[in-house]
């Protein structure tokens, strides 16, 4: 008898694919070109399996992760942000974190909402918790 993995593992796998896909696009001029084929293979493998296909909305939520990281990296922006170093100060220009934060939160919330909607419409999907109606 084979044991089923917990319901959230396929969703997390799609989440990782979504995050890696956008990261490869944002970093296309450096390592993103090498990450893209890995993302493509992972997406095809997840899409081909009936046990993981239903968790695709996790990829939508995963698209928000790199955007949230960019927002956190630019938390001192917009403008010049300086940090003390051993020899003085290091200053960098930073973007406004707010558009990145808004887009990241929107995509994350959309992926979670889509997952919840799909689970509600199709109670046979793994991870669906049946709650009796009064």
Q: Which of 5-9, 32-36, 90-94, 129-133 has the lowest mean pLDDT?
A: 129-133
Residue ranges with strand state E in the chain: 79-85, 88-94
User: Which pLDDT band holds residue 72 (cuts at 50, 70, 90)?
Assistant: very high
Q: What is the pLDDT of residues 100-113, one digit of tens each?
A: 999 999 999 999 99
The pTM of the whole model exceeds 0.95: no
Task: Say how far apart CA 13 and CA 42 lie, in whole Å.
Answer: 9
Better-scored residue on pLDDT, 63 or 130: 63
Position 130 scores a pLDDT of 45
Residue 21, both tokens: 């896909």
């Amino acid at each position: 008898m084979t044991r089923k993995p917990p319901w959230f593992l396929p969703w997390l796998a799609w989440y990782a694919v979504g995050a890696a896909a956008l990261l490869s696009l944002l970093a296309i001029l450096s390592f993103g070109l090498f990450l893209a084929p890995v993302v493509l293979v992972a997406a095809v493998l997840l899409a081909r399996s009936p046990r993981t296909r239903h968790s695709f909305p996790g990829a939508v939520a995963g698209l928000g992760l790199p955007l949230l990281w960019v927002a956190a990296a630019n938390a001192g922006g917009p403008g010049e942000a300086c940090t003390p170093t051993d020899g003085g100060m290091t200053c960098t220009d930073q973007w406004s974190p707010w558009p990145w934060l808004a887009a990241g939160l929107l995509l994350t919330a959309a992926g979670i909402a889509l997952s919840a909607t799909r689970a509600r419409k199709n109670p046979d999907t793994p991870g669906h918790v049946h709650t009796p109606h009064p």
